[in-house]
Amino acid sequence: MTYIPAENRYEKMKYNQVGQSGLKLPAVSLGLWHNFGHVDEFANSRKLIQTAFDSGITHFDLANNYGPPPGSAEKTLGRILNQDLNGYRDELVISTKAGYGMWPGPYGDGGSRKYLISSIDQSLKRLGLEYVDIFYHHRPDQETPLEESMQALDTIVKQGKALYVGISNYGPDETERAYKILTELGTPFIIHQPAYSIFNRTIEDKLLKVIKDKGLGTIVFTPLAQGLLTDKYLDGIPADSRAASSSQFLNGSDITEAKLNKIKKLNEIANKRGQSLAQMALAWVLRREEITSVLVGASKPAQIKENVQIIGNLSFSEEELNEIDKILELGA
C-alpha cells in the first residue's frame, strides 16, 4: 500500500535548535542501532519509520556498522526512503557515523582520512542518497592525529557529502580540541552525541559545560540505560531481555537487587507524574537546556507513540529532582 504521512505530524513534536546553528531536531529522534538489520523483519522496520514520521520524528540516526550485518541498517533505511519518503527528503534529517570496525584490514576502522572518506561514500550508496545531514566521527582514535580526523570531516562537508558534522563518545578535552580545529577550518561542527541517562551522569561533570560554552547541540544515546529504565525490569530480569542474554552492553550480573530496587522507586515517581518509567527517564534527560534531542530505539510502533507523548510533560519540580537524586544515592 502507498504510504501517506499524517497531515498533523508536526503538531505532535517539539523541535529544538541544535546549539547555535540554524538546524532544529525533534526532541525525540529515532536510532536505528537495533531492529533495522537484514536479520529483522523488513515490514516491521518499515512500520517503525512510518510511525516515527507520522509522530513528527524527522531525524533518523545511523552508523556504518549498524545491522546486523554491518551496513544493513543503512540499506534498510535506504529502501524505506525510496518506497515511502522519496518526496519528503527535505523534511528529514539523516545522520550516520564512522569510527568502529566496519570492514577487514587496516583501513576499515578508526579515524584515518582514508577510512572516514571511504566510509561516507559507502554509506551514501547504501542509503541511496547524495548527502547526509550530519556525519559523525563515532569515537576518538588514539592511533590517528585528531587533526587528520577533523580535516577528513571538513573535506566531507566541502565535497557536499554532509551538511554538518558531529562527534560521538569524545571526552571534554578531546571535544575542545576538535572544536578548535574545526572552527579554524570553518567546518559546520554543531553537535555531540554522548551517552546520558538517570543511571549514567558522567557528562554532567565537565562535558556539558564544554558543549554549552562552545555553542554545540547534544543528542543523547542510551537514555533508557539499555532498557533498565523501562517497565521491563520492574519484576526482575525477564528471560528475553538483553541482561538475561549477557550481551556486551548489558550483563545480568550488573543488575543487583539494589539496582532493581532503584528502578522500582523511580517507577513510583513516574506513576505520580502520570508517566511510564521510560517516559519519565526521557523527560529527565530533556530537562537540561544543553540537551537537544534523545535517541530512542524501538521494536514496536507502540513504543514510539509512547515515547513521543513525553512532549506534553517535560518539566520537573525541585522536589521530584531531589527525590530522584536520593534514590540514586542508595546502596549500589
Q: What's the rounded mean pLDDT across residues 34-47?
A: 98
- Average pLDDT rounded to a whole number, residues 123-149: 98
pLDDT class for 234, splitting at 50, 70, 90?
confident
How confident is residue 247, by pLDDT bands cut at 50, 70 and 90? Answer: low
Angle between helices 146-158 and 113-127 (to 10 degrees): 40
Residue 314 has pLDDT above 90, yes or no: yes
**Res 250: pLDDT:** 55
28-37, 224-233, 280-289: which has the minimum mean pLDDT? Answer: 224-233
pLDDT, position 48: 98
Residue 300 — pLDDT band, cuts 50, 70, 90?
A: very high
Residue type, 21: S
According to DSSP H, which parts of 189-256 are helical?
A: 207-213
If we measure between CA atoms, which residue out of 110, 117, 40 comes closest to residue 77?
40
Count of Cβ atoms closer than 10 Å to residue 91 Cβ: 12
- Over pLDDT 90: what percentage of the chain? 90
Mean pLDDT across 34-39: 97
Q: Name the grid cell of 15.
A: 523541535
pLDDT value, residue 215: 98
What is d(CA 97, CA 65) in angstroms, rounded to the nearest whole number? Answer: 8
Round to whole Å and give the CA distance between 168 and 149: 13
Quote the pLDDT of residue 1.
Answer: 77
Whole-angstrom distance, CA of residue 249 vs CA of residue 184:
37
Confidence check: pLDDT of 244 > 60: no
Long-range contacts of 9-13 (CB under 8 A, 24+ apart): 9/53, 9/54, 9/55, 9/56, 10/56, 11/56, 12/55, 12/56, 12/308, 12/311, 13/55, 13/56, 13/57, 13/58, 13/308, 13/311
pLDDT band at 122 (very low <50, low <70, confident <90, very high): very high
d(CA 96, CA 311): 25
Reported as a single tens digit per residue, the pLDDT across 265-291 is 999 999 999 999 999 999 999 999 999
Q: How far apart are CA 59 and CA 170, in angstroms?
A: 22
pLDDT of residue 241: 56
103 CB-contact burial (10 Å; exposed 0-12 / middle 13-18 / buried 19+):
middle
Q: What is the mean pLDDT of residues 20-47?
A: 98
pLDDT value at 240 more than 70: no
Give the model's pLDDT for residue 235.
Answer: 77
pTM over 0.85: yes
pLDDT for the residue 219: 98
Give the dihedral of Cα atoms 253, 258, 260, 265; nearest 10 deg.
-160
Domains, in order of start, for the chain: 9-227+285-311 (3.20.20.100)
